Structure formats: structure tokens, C-alpha cells
Copies of this chain bind each other. A is one copy, B any other.
Amino acid sequence: MKKIISIIIFGLFGYVSFSQNKLSDTFNLMPWPQEITKSNTTFKIDEKLTIFINGKDATERVNKSSVQFLRRLANKTGVFIDEGFPTKNKNASIEINFHSVSNLTTESDESYSLNIDDNKITINAKTDVGAIRGLETLLQLVNFNKKGYYFEGVSITDFPRFVWRGLMIDVARHFQPVAVIKRNLDAMASVKLNVFHWHLTDDQGFRVESKVFPRLQEVATDGLFYTQEQIKDVVKYASNLGIRVVPEFDVPGHASAILAAYPELGSKEGYEYSVERFSGVFHPTLNPAKEVTYLFLETLFTEIAPLFPDEYFHIGGDENEGKHWDENIEIQEFKKKHNLNTNHDLQTFFNIKLEKILKKLGKKLMGWDEILTPSTPTTAVIHSWRGKQEGLKQSTLIEAAKKGYQTVLSNGYYIDRVQSVEKHYNVDPIGNTVLTKEERKRILGAEATMWSELVTPLTIDSRIWPRTAAIAERFWSNKKVNDVNNMQKRLKVVTFQLEELGITHLKNKDVILRNISNSQDIHALKTLTNICEPLKIYSRNKGGTEYKTFSPFTLFADACTPDATDAKAFNKAVVSFLANKSKENQTKLIAFFDLWINNHTKFQKINNNPKTDVLEPLSSNLALLSSILKTGLISGKLSTNNYKKVLKLINKLEKPIADTELVITSKLKKLLVNYKK
């Protein structure tokens, strides 16, 4: 029996450690490719570098990506590349071969191979999209020494694990201008995401120009919406990056904005509909018992669907509590007449009508997993978002696939919960579930979701990135690629590559801190942001009523991010020290304590305003605690009095401060327990 167990254990560990390619210690590719081997050569990047595109048709997609590749390479390396555009000369240093132009569907091929020799780089792909995926990999292989920049010599064969690798951005709660969307599309392409799910409407705004229903803009947008020209521009931009755009028009719930413009479509007679300024789940709901509701939606979708060439069309369908339905006698009679027992049945009735409207427009209906009821046709696509947090045993992904639905997973990838990258990286869409080939095929993939209640154009990038790069790896790479430490090592490099692409997650931290301090020295505040994280899982803005859509998001919590760097390092240092009280491990801890002691001196030099004043207890308590613990570490003992003092300070510091939490308190406690007599 014992023998069997050790074989199993060995098998498990062997599986993990053998699975991750050793080269991931050397190279910083993300997502990690399916197959990679190293050669002993490198390719020197100099001014003579050229690109030749050998495609059946020279496509805009590969052409634009090649031009961008040359710009990004020049900007990164400082090399003055002679030829700024792809050459007609077949004897180029980089040769790109592909056979066909992708039509960007869930069936499209994205595979490629990349070979780097000392004098030639070749990318081979079936489609143009595969080719541009290869170009992104190539850019991640740039390295340097004192003499110059070069590409690492490797051979790669690569293809995605899932065909649907998405990022959803909510532009309703806080509008995000075209420039924000475009830079995020660039970043998505750089980590091989291929679906941009555009959450365009919600209680707080209807963000698409309608020429048929102009009140949608006049009343339901505060002037913040995309013109149809802008939508076309974004869709084209995404297509050139090999990214499909799936629009979402959330109905019948989340409809406050629509109903502010057209109250006659509402379920509650005489209700004062208005654009919502708070966050949460609200009652305004379209009336499914009125024929005019379907006429409105058919007319609207007929106008808007052609802007989005993709086959999938998301109708939301989530979080409808049906309160206004219950209060409406006509709707109750309608339910009886149509034998609809529950509001769920009524919503399914509504969805089936929508499904027919969309079918006429050549679209597949997709919806959040509340649409999954026994009578929902299997042509619908189930977007699985709920899980344990929402009272389910597990996500609906597997259930939907087994019942015959195409399905996409977002449970586990809610990046607006501001949790650690590790948390999301460890979620595998399928895990060890055994599926038939057909069932597996119906699991299209997964999507990270960026709900925007608490983010603005200033902060949204820091909520999406760099975590979404690691999530993208989960969607693209082999499931065996799962070493968290290795991922974090590579992510440190990728995060700067994202900045080079225009992502603002790093630079806007300083902008917020300069604002908070009224342009005084920000070093003290920055040190604090490196150990504090925004309150997680919606505990910031509890109940959705603390912040309005136009409240300031230029506060300390907005400068903080998940995965606070110093906190991670300190927590690790505590673990090391408790395992081995070596001088070296002690020194590491003392360095942190010195940092926080000195930091408070700097903090005190700031002329405080209410935004910085609220941080004073954090800064001073931390300094005091650091000073006692430092003395304790050096002397190897702590008086009972000091022990109690520190415990009291930790207890204080455990409470939320300016909508953030100090994420070193549990490790501080562990360190303190060390002195417990």
C-alpha cells in the first residue's frame, strides 16, 4: 500500500516538474509555446534587417503587423532600421509564409512555426493570423548585451489550446474612449488573445450611436458613446490584429439607460427611469409581454448588428431579479396565458424570441449563464460566469457542454475582483473532468472580464494588466504549463513589454500619487502603494452606493494594484526567515523595516491634505511596529510589553485604510508569534 502511494506521489510531482519546459527559465515568452527547442545561434538585430511577406495575397493584416513589428523593434532596440516597410526582395532576413487569409471564426487556424537561425528567420503559418501570432513571439525573443540586440535562436511550433481567448471590457459603467480600447487591443494581440467582448450597454449608459433611436444617445449616454464610424474603426483595427469583436447588448435587465430614453418599453408603469449613477443590480427591466419591445429590439439589432461582422452576438441576460415583472399585472397575465410558471420561464420565452431575431440577422445568441434553462435551444451559447461565490457548486461550463451548448468560461477570471495573478492562473477551465470529444469541442474557451464600476481610463490598464497576460497563457498554452514562480518571473518582463505597447499601468501610478500629494515628493506614498492592495471581491464600494459613476477615482486605492511588489517580497522573506533564521534572512527583513521606518520620516515632510492625511496612521503605525520588530530581531527577544504593542498595531493595521488593505499583516503576525513565550 505504501509503495503504491509513493508511486502516485512521485507520479504527481514528476508530472508537474517534467511538464514545464526547462527553457522557460531562460526565455520570457508568454503565453508559453506548445513546442520549443533552442539552437546555439542568435540572430543579430542591425540596420539591415528586412521583412519579406510571402502570402497568397499580401494582406493588410500581415502588412500592418509587419510595419508595426519594425517600429516596435526599432523603438525597443534603438536600431535605425533602413527599410521601414516590408521589402519585395525575397532575400530578406525575416521571411513570412502563409497560405490563406483568415475569416476570423471559431474554426480559424492560428498555428505557426518560427525558426531563428543566425542569418535567417522564418515564420510559417496556414493563415495570416497565425503569421502575426508568430511575429509577437519573435518580439518576445529580443535580448541584449553590451554589444547590441539580438533574437534568441530557437525553433517553435505553436498553436492555441482554446479557440476562444477573450477579454471583456465594460464601457457602460465608465466609458472608455477609442484610444483606451485600441491600446488594449494591441496588448491583447501581444499575448495572443483573440476575442474582444465589448460590454456596450448597462444601467449606467448605452454606448452605441443609433440613428433610428437617437434618444439612446441624447438621454442615455451623458454624451459618452461611440459613433458608428468609431465602432467600424475599432472592429477593423481588431481584425487587423486577428481579434474578433463580440458586442454585448444587455437585456432584459441592466436596462435603466435604455428605459430612461424609452420608458414605454419598461415593465413598471409610471416608474421614473433614469440613467443609473450607482453600482449594483437594479429593477428596471424591459417588458417581455409587449410586442413593441420585440419590435424595438429587432429594429435596433437590425441597425447595429451589421457593424459587427462576427457571428456571435451577446445579449447579456444576467441578474434579472424580475421584481418589476412581479409588480405588473399584465405581465402576470401574460405568463399565465403562455404557461410560463416562473420569471425564468418568462425570460426564456424572451430569449427564444431574440434568438429568432438574431438568426435572421445571421447571428448566434450568446448570453450569461442565467439563460441556461431546460427550454433554451442548444443553438444558444452559454457564457458561464457564476460559481461558488454566487451559490453554485461549480461553474456551469461543464454542465452546459454536456447538455449540448457551446460555452465560454469567465468564472475564475473576474479580474475586477482585484485578486492575485496566482489565483486566476491556477484556474484551469476544464481541470481533470473527463469529456467526450464532442463535449470538449463545445467548450470554446474563456474570457477575463473587466467590469468598470471602479475603473476609469486613468486606471483601467492597471486593473487588466499584467495579470491578463498570465490568464492569456492559461487559455493558449498546454495545461501542464503551470509553475507559478516561473510565470511570475516571466510576467515581470512582459509587464514592461506591455508598457512599450502603450499600456499605462506603470506610469499612471505616479500620476495619481502626484495628484494625491499636490505634486510634492511621491516617494513616501509610493512605498506605501507597494504593500497595500485595493479592497478585493467588491468590498470596496460595498452595496454599490459609496461611489457614483462620477466620483473621483484618483485616490490612494486607485494607485494601488493587486500583487503589491514589496508585500510579496516581504511575505516571502518572513517565510524564509521562520524556516531558517540565518543572518542573511534576518538582514532581508531588517532592510524592509528600515525602509518603512525611514519612509515615515519622508511621509511627515508632505504638507498633508485630506487625501494624504488619511494615510498617516498607516505610515506611523507601520514605522513604529517596524522599529520594535527590528530591535527584536537584532536582540533575538521581545518584551511582553513590546509584544502586546506590536500585536495591537497589527490589529489596527488589519483594518481597511482608504479602501485598501495592508497585505503583510498575516505574515507580521507569524513573525510575532515567533516571540511568543
Contacts and interface: CB of A to CB of B under 8 A. Distances in A.
Interface of A: 64, 67, 70-71, 74-81, 84-85, 144-149, 177-179, 222-223, 227, 229, 233, 277, 493, 496, 499-500, 506-508, 510-511, 514-516, 518-519, 547-555, 607-611, 613
Given A70-B550, A179-B179, A552-B79, A609 B145 contact: yes
Contact of A515 (B75, B510, B519, B553): B75
Nearest to A550: B84
28 contacts: A67-B222, A74-B550, A74-B552, A75-B554, A76-B554, A77-B552, A77-B611, A78-B554, A78-B609, A78-B610, A78-B611, A79-B552, A80-B547, A80-B548, A80-B552, A81-B550, A84-B277, A145-B609, A146-B608, A146-B610, A146-B613, A148-B609, A148-B610, A227-B229, A229-B229, A499-B511, A500-B515, A507-B511
A274 B218 CA distance: 46
Nearest to A75: B554
Given A144-B518, A507-B511, A515-B500, A555 B229 contact: no
Contact of A496 (B64, B75, B519, B553): B519
A552 B76 CA distance: 8
A64 B177 CA distance: 16
A616 to B, nearest CB: 10
Contacts of A147: 610
8 shortest A-B CB distances, which residue pairs?
Answer: A84-B550, A179-B179, A496-B519, A507-B507, A144-B609, A74-B552, A75-B554, A78-B611
A500 B84 CA distance: 35
Contacts of A85: 222
A677 to B, nearest CB: 42
Contacts of A84: 277, 548-550
A511 B508 CA distance: 11
Contact of A514 (B67, B223, B496, B608): B496
Given A64-B223, A74-B551, A551-B74, A514 B506 contact: yes
Contacts of A609: 78, 144-146, 148-149
Contacts of A554: 75-76, 78
Task: Pick from A78, A85, A493, A554 the residue with the most CB of B within 10 Å.
Answer: A78
A647 B550 CA distance: 60
Contacts of A518: 144, 496
Q: Give how many copies assemble into the complex.
A: 2
Contacts of A223: 64
A233 B277 CA distance: 27
Contacts of A611: 77-78
Given A229-B229, A507-B510, A515-B76, A71 B613 contact: no
Contacts of A146: 607-610, 613
A574 to B, nearest CB: 25
A493 B514 CA distance: 11
A346 to B, nearest CB: 35
Contacts of A500: 515
Given A177-B179, A227-B229, 5 more contacts: A64-B223, A75-B553, A80-B552, A496-B515, A507-B511
Contacts of A516: 78
A449 B178 CA distance: 27
Contacts of A144: 518, 609
Task: Pick from A70, A223, A547 the residue with the most CB of B within 10 Å.
Answer: A223
Nearest to A183: B179
Contacts of A277: 84
A383 to B, nearest CB: 31
Nearest to A519: B496
A242 to B, nearest CB: 17
A67 B549 CA distance: 13
Contact of A507 (B70, B508, B555): B508
Contacts of A229: 227, 229
Contacts of A499: 511, 514-515
Contacts of A145: 607, 609
A655 to B, nearest CB: 20
Nearest to A492: B519
Contacts of A551: 74, 80
Contacts of A608: 146
A526 to B, nearest CB: 12
Nearest to A658: B78
Nearest to A496: B519
A508 B504 CA distance: 10
A427 B205 CA distance: 49
A71 B550 CA distance: 7
Task: Pick from A144, A552, A554 the residue with the most CB of B within 10 Å.
Answer: A552
A227 B500 CA distance: 27
Contacts of A552: 74-75, 77-80
Contacts of A71: 550
Nearest to A84: B550
Given A64-B223, A78-B554, A554-B78, A493 B510 contact: no
A205 to B, nearest CB: 13
Contacts of A64: 223
A549 B84 CA distance: 9
A548 B85 CA distance: 12
Nearest to A614: B78
A515 B149 CA distance: 13
A229 B227 CA distance: 10
Nearest to A228: B229
A276 B70 CA distance: 18
A132 to B, nearest CB: 16
A145 B610 CA distance: 8
Nearest to A227: B229
Nearest to A517: B496
Given A74-B551, A78-B554, A179-B179, A519 B493 contact: yes
A465 B233 CA distance: 30
A75 B457 CA distance: 13
A553 B499 CA distance: 16
Contacts of A555: 78
A658 to B, nearest CB: 10
A67 B221 CA distance: 13
